[in-house]
Amino acid sequence: MILEACVSTINGLKAAQKYGIQRIEICKDLHLEGLTPTEEFQSITNDIFNGESYVMIRPHNNGFDYTKNELELMMQSIKIAKNNQAHGVVFGILQNDKVDLKKNEKLVKLAKDLELKCTFHKAFDECKNINQSLLELSEIGFDWVLTSGKEKNAKLGLQNLKMLSKIKNRKTKILAGGGISGLNYHKFLNLGLDGIHFSIDKNNIIEVEKIMSIKNGLKLY
């Protein structure tokens, strides 16, 4: 099971390195659920953090549908992420309450051509049929999906997360995220999930106790 931390500050990068986090998702504006980080922040990530880094590709917080111009901006952001030695990118495009197959395929193809992994972010929880959507993501070529199990937080979505993990023929790995803490992480360890995602630097405060609780708990798992 992989451990992924959401990081939006330099102190967060330093903490991820110090405490041995396997993978990070870098973004800005966590209060808006994360937007595309600046190129400057991306450029210093590998100077501080030695693990895998995935870059959020989200130009605004006004829904998950994007215009042609916004799609072009996202494509440019994927190229910038590659230029800054990212290992993967994180994005998600919906059309109403369904995965937008055509637009996502376009971004996935670009990312794969650049040898980047792809995570479909928590827009997934807005999908009407998450079972069908997961299989669609698998067919498009997404490596991961970040989800709370279609609920406000992952704890409330436990049963849906378990259901998703048991879907046959899924190629997309499931990353549980949303409200995971040092007090509840253990609830996600026996569901057949592939990873846990949690924030470590909200409001520029490093949550050391959370990090250590989850890391030490996984050692015993």
Q: Give this prediction's pTM.
A: 0.96
Positive or negative, the CA dihedral 213, 120, 142, 99 is positive
* pLDDT recorded at residue 221: 59
The CATH number of whichever domain residue 73 belongs to comes to 3.20.20.380
CA dihedral 25, 29, 30, 33 (to 10 degrees): -90
Query: Domain range holding 75?
Result: 2-220
Q: Tens digits of per-residue pLDDT, 122-152?
A: 999 999 999 999 999 999 999 999 999 999 9
Residue 219 confidence class, pLDDT cut points 50, 70, 90: confident
- Count the domains in the chain: 1
- Give the pLDDT mean for 96-100: 96
